[in-house]
Amino acid sequence: MNMAIGYGAVLLFTVLVVVVMSRSRRGDASMSEYATGGRSFNSWFGTMAFLNTWIAGTVFISFAGLTAGVGVIGYYSLSYSLLSVVLMFFLGTPVNKWGRVHDLRTQADLLGLRYNSRSVRAIAAIIGVLASVPWVVLGMQSLGLVFSTLSFGLVSPYLAVVIGVLFIAARQIWTVRLGTRGLIISDMVQGLFAYGVGFLLILGLLVWLFTNGHGFFEVAPALLQLPGPDSPAGPLYLFSLVFTGMMGAWCWPDLFVRMFSVKTPRSVQKSAVQAAPVMFIFSGALTTLCLLASSVPGVSDAPDTVWFILAGVGGVGMVAVAGVCVVAATMGNVGANLQAIGTQVVNDVIEVRNHERVETAKGAKIAVAVITLVSAGIALLTANQVSGLIAIGGCQVFCVRDRSVVRSAG
């Protein structure tokens, strides 16, 4: 019965997302419409699309585990995320304007225009694909923890990974069919649940922690210290985490699509202004929750499960809601990655090779479908061994006072 509640909640939410996405369909789209959503969305859609792409399911699992296991260094993600929003504010005007004037569809398209080079465009697209696919694979695999938890012990960890991969791959059928327009509309639904309902859940759990003897005074002193100048990792360790995170933020192909899809340059800037407080409040509250939860029995033994350990105080229903929050956030990140890299393959690799502008979306749909299947296949084949993929994806190993946590996608 408990498993039926957990899996049923995910199924019902997915049906809701699919119904909302399907209502956005406008027939056979042109390549530009498929890649940018017709450049027709207002700032609030742009805000939620950015958040649902940036704040992936990993914040509830790996980033949460980092804070619960290592301490206040987990706040670094909030710092570089806010700096990335600032960068978005200043990038928005030229990127959106050039995109509209020159019918730019992808990040590689923009770089090709900037340097007036078809070779730069193709190379940028290939790099974007190679960099993004490992994160797609890890995102698919990360749902294994969700489906394992929501089975309440009835599904083995390996089988849960298989279920997670097949589930998110099936969800991408609508990503293939509807392109960016469907993604951005679904981002609104997924984002409202992940960060709206999720925030309410965080507030409730914070109250529970404070009223049950898990306040700031119960946090181990070692978890309240940041690596200083004498850190084994080097004096600039924390600075490098924040700085490289900020600078690398807009190297991802899926984030550029968000700036192409809104109506005007002003709308991009408004999206940045709106995203900043939402990100600050949500991410700050979640990180604080996980820091305080470090004193909860069982968390130190499995910090990556801190979100579900805390949700367990509210029973099966709360665990199901917590699971849907992770699924909702993961949907946005994986879907945006697949759509962006599939579009780049056709728009910036095949088009450059053929010396002919692609005007129909058929090729992009095929590319997104193929990359989805390939990613799902890799995820299934490596379900029992993800360390290599984490390394390829660019993981970071945090070593503070002889303790380490691996940050994976999710």
Q: Give the separation between CA 75 and CA 377, rounded to whole angstroms.
A: 34
pLDDT higher than 60, residue 387: no
For residue 351, the model assigns a pLDDT of 81
Mean pLDDT along residues 110-131? 90
pLDDT band at 1 (very low <50, low <70, confident <90, very high): confident
pLDDT higher than 80, residue 234: no
Say which residue, 141 or 296, is predicted with more confidence: 296
pLDDT band at 283 (very low <50, low <70, confident <90, very high): very high
Q: What b/e sequence results for 239-251 when a residue is b if at least 16 CB atoms lie within 10 Å of its CB, and e otherwise?
A: eebbeebbeebbe
End-to-end alpha carbon distance in the chain:
27
User: What does each C-alpha distance from 49 to 10, 274, 307, 309, 378 come to in angstroms?
Assistant: 21, 12, 24, 29, 27
pLDDT band at 400 (very low <50, low <70, confident <90, very high): very low
For residue 257, the model assigns a pLDDT of 80
For residue 27, the model assigns a pLDDT of 56
Domain coordinates in residue numbering, the chain: 2-406
Report whether 114 contacts 131 (CB < 8 A).
Answer: no
Mean pLDDT along residues 367-377? 90
The crossing angle, in degrees rounded to 10, of helices 316-344 and 2-22 is 40
pLDDT band at 28 (very low <50, low <70, confident <90, very high): low
pLDDT higher than 90, residue 133: no
- Give the mean pLDDT of the chain: 86
For residue 26, the model assigns a pLDDT of 66
Mean pLDDT along residues 338-361? 85
pLDDT higher than 80, residue 168: yes
DSSP string, 62-120: HHHHHHHHH-GGGGHHHHHHHHHHHHHHHHHHHHHHHHHHHT--SHHHHHHHHHT-HHH
Architecture of domain 2-406: Up-down Bundle (1.20)
pLDDT band at 309 (very low <50, low <70, confident <90, very high): very high
Q: Which of 181-195, 271-285, 359-373, 395-409 has the lowest mean pLDDT?
A: 395-409
Cβ-Cβ contacts under 8 Å for 381 (sequence gap 6 or more): none
pLDDT band at 390 (very low <50, low <70, confident <90, very high): very low
Q: Give the separation between CA 289 and CA 184, rounded to whole angstroms.
A: 29
For residue 399, the model assigns a pLDDT of 35
Size (the chain), residues: 410
pLDDT band at 401 (very low <50, low <70, confident <90, very high): very low
Q: Which of 2-6, 228-232, 289-293, 390-394 has the lowest mean pLDDT?
A: 390-394
Q: Give the separation between CA 191 and CA 406, rounded to whole angstroms.
A: 26
Element (H, E) at 47: helix 43-54
Predicted TM-score (pTM) of this structure: 0.88
Alpha helices in 345-361, H assignment, sequence order: 351-354
Mean pLDDT along residues 303-332? 94
For residue 385, the model assigns a pLDDT of 56
For a pLDDT cut of 90, what percent of the chain falls above it?
Answer: 40
**Most confident stretch, 149-158, 235-244, 269-278:** 269-278
Cβ-Cβ contacts under 8 Å for 199 (sequence gap 6 or more): 281, 282, 285
pLDDT higher than 90, residue 246: no
pLDDT higher than 50, residue 352: yes
Q: Which of 95-109, 205-219, 382-396 has the lowest mean pLDDT?
A: 382-396
Q: Give the separation between CA 101 and CA 91, rounded to whole angstroms.
A: 16
Q: Which of 102-106, 116-120, 175-179, 250-254 has the lowest mean pLDDT?
A: 250-254
Mean pLDDT along residues 128-153? 87
Phi and psi at 127, nearest 5°, equal -60, -40
For residue 389, the model assigns a pLDDT of 42
Beta strands per DSSP E along 167-253:
none
pLDDT higher than 60, residue 19: yes
pLDDT band at 56 (very low <50, low <70, confident <90, very high): confident
